[in-house]
Amino acid sequence: MGRGIAQIFAQAGIPVRLFDSHSPALAAAVQSLAGVFTLLQDKGRLSPEQAQAATARILPAQTLADLADCDLVIEAIVERLDAKRELLTNLDAVLAPSAVIASNTSSLSITAIAASSSHPERVAGYHFFNPVPLMRIVEVIGGPRTESHILDRLCELAELAGHRAVRAQDTPGFIVNHAGRGFGTEALRLLGEGVADPATIDRIMREQVSIDGSGFKLGPFELMDLTGLDVSHPVMESIYRQYFDEPRFRPSVIAAQRNVAGLHGRKRGEGWYRHLEGKQQNPPEPAVPGVAVIPPVWVAPGAQHSALSSLVTDLGGRLDTGREPGPDSLILLAPLGHDATHACLDWPAERALAIDTFFPVGKGACQRRTLMTTPATRADYRDAAHALFAADGVRVSVIRDSAGFVAPRILAMIVAIGCEIAQQHIASPTDIDTAVRLGLGYPAGPLTLGDKLGAVRVTRLLDEIHQITADPRYRPSMWLRRRAKLGLSLLHPD
């Protein structure tokens, strides 16, 4: 991180002094940056003169005293509060009172770090993302004593270096790591409930979600394997504890156990997936069952009745058009937030399955469909439904009973947490969406995502999941509920 931060400012024409308490690491960093600038020159992204000038702007500092005339010091040391506090105390002894100290911490409190300084008003957060030259977003965080003009200067400096600056209050996880809790923690919750395995959850999130034609490039378990469970799980625990055990951020015992076991992901060769020579080994997709005769399909009444009836006939299925399901008919349900069991009402659960209609499921309109069984669903009816809904070549995932299916549940949590960040005025609605879109690579920021999915629909989804599970993690934020009731965009400020 330190090298990346040094690189972008040197390329922007700003002299940089690089310090590391371990002298060999300092020498390696200076040499590495010179190589980076040469590589950029070879690729035609820097002229020879620009590469030479950028290299000349990187000067090693052998001691902290060599930083005495710096206007800004950015620390990117180990993520330990005691270490950062000790460094700030030492910097206070050598820096001018007007110099700014910025921490690149991703999870520690800026307020707690600044408390060790005799000038807490000059301490701020400056959270870059790795790799810094490619992730063009930086969170600028002010503590309760940080002077506002310092935040203005840090934003201007970031923009000068080609990065988008977003402002946040000092709060656990700031914007990006805070908003990112919905994606991974809800996927772990689904895994813990036995709804589906990691590969199935990842496939659904990659292939079923479509926001204006864009989706998630990686599923939640693939992302955890990429970042490393030894990195992501401690962040989950830290944010949960810092928010005094807020249910929305509750981490998973499964992840905790796997972290202790060293199943950290790609860098260890094994995580949620096995990785051979850096390549993820995906389990095979379950085969479409061979079914001789598919029973007639009775579609339960509701908003999706007409569309699902058309889909059944488009796929070559037979419709049962009776007021009640026939004695042998497959019963097709389309709940929003309820599970298949609760959606089944008085119909025979052994012949019932639910289909996720949160995104289009019509012929030619999707890459994947998700079916959900009740605990009583017979295997022959499960296989018949799988065969029917795969008849046009669309991939089908069959999951166990779950309030809210997979994709709707994860997306609703992303929206709910984003709305809560806005409700707490941690950042502006626009900055929340910008930070999440650029920092996490989501197809849309959480508030825009809620607008695209429909605030009323997301509110109802969360209410129904909350009703089924009785878990307060699913309660809608008042920001979401009020805007849904008033018909306002979730980006509409207070």
pLDDT digits (tens, 9 = 90+) for 175-193: 999 999 999 999 999 999 9
Told to judge if 90 belongs to the known catalytic residues of this protein, a careful annotator would answer no
Residues 98 and 48 in one domain: yes
Answer yes or no: is 255 within a domain. Answer: yes
- Structural domain containing residue 229: 178-281
Answer yes or no: is 197 within a domain. Answer: yes
Of 175, 209, 240, the last residue of a domain is 175
Q: Which of 103, 104, 106, 116 is catalytic?
A: 106
Told to judge if 222 belongs to the known catalytic residues of this protein, a careful annotator would answer no
Give dist(CA 210, CA 196) in Å, integer.
21
Answer yes or no: is 231 within a domain. Answer: yes
pLDDT number for residue 48: 96
pLDDT for 239-274, tens place per residue? Answer: 999 999 999 999 999 999 999 999 999 999 999 999
Residues 157 and 260 in one domain: no
CATH no. for residue 225?
1.10.1040.50
pLDDT number for residue 79: 87
Q: Which of 177, 238, 259, 329 is catalytic?
A: 177
Answer yes or no: is 436 within a domain. Answer: no
Give dist(CA 284, CA 200) in Å, integer.
10
Answer yes or no: is 488 within a domain. Answer: no
Residues 7 and 151 in one domain: yes
Residues 170 and 244 in one domain: no
In this structure, are residues 273 and 282 in contact, taking their beta carbons and an 8 Å threshold? yes
Answer yes or no: is 333 within a domain. Answer: yes
Show the 3-state SS of the chain. Answer: CHHHHHHHHHHCCCCEEEECCCHHHHHHHHHHHHHHHHHHHHCCCCCHHHHHHHHHHEEEECCHHHHCCCCEEEECCCCCHHHHHHHHHHHHCCCCCCCEEEECCCCCCHHHHHCCCCCHHHEEEEEECCCCCCCCEEEEEECCCCCHHHHHHHHHHHHHCCCEEEEEECCCCCCHHHHCHHHHHHHHHHHHCCCCCHHHHHHHHHHCCCECCECCCCCHHHHHHHHCHHHHHHHHHHHHHHCCCCHHHCCCHHHHHHHHCCCCEHHHCECCCEEECCEEECCCCCCCCCCCCCCCEEECCCCCHHHHHHHHHHCCCCECCCCCCCCCCEEEECCCCCCHHHHCCCCCHHHEEEECCCCCCCCCCCCEEEEEECCCCCHHHHHHHHHHHCCCCCEEEEECCCCCCCHHHHHHHHHHHHHHHHHCCCCCHHHHHHHHHHHHCCCCCHHHHHHHHCHHHHHHHHHHHHHHHCCHHHCCCHHHHHHHHHCCCCCCCC
Residues 72 and 218 in one domain: no
In this structure, are residues 283 and 254 in contact, taking their beta carbons and an 8 Å threshold? no
Told to judge if 127 belongs to the known catalytic residues of this protein, a careful annotator would answer yes
Residues 232 and 245 in one domain: yes
| Token pair belonging to 33 | 């940056």
Residues 35 and 167 in one domain: yes
Which residues in the chain show pLDDT less than 50?
Answer: none
Residues 154 and 186 in one domain: no
Q: How many structural domains are present in the chain?
A: 3
Q: Which of 119, 127, 264, 466 is catalytic?
A: 127
User: In Å, what is the CA distance from 67 to each residue of 8, 63, 78, 86, 96?
Assistant: 19, 8, 19, 16, 10
Rounded to 5 degrees, what are φ and ψ at 272?
-70, -25
Answer yes or no: is 493 within a domain. Answer: no
Residues 154 and 191 in one domain: no
Of 110, 142, 175, the last residue of a domain is 175
pLDDT number for residue 346: 87
Residues 240 and 272 in one domain: yes
| Token pair belonging to 112 | 């707690």
Of 149, 175, 201, the last residue of a domain is 175
Q: pTM score, two decimals?
A: 0.94
CATH no. for residue 350?
3.40.50.720
pLDDT number for residue 180: 92
As a dihedral over the C-alpha atoms of residue 304, residue 307, residue 313, residue 315, rounded to 10 degrees, the angle is -100
- CB neighbours (10 Å) of residue 254? 12
Residues 48 and 145 in one domain: yes
Q: Which of 103, 104, 119, 139 is catalytic?
A: 139
Residues 127 and 182 in one domain: no
pLDDT number for residue 144: 95
Answer yes or no: is 482 within a domain. Answer: no
Told to judge if 104 belongs to the known catalytic residues of this protein, a careful annotator would answer no
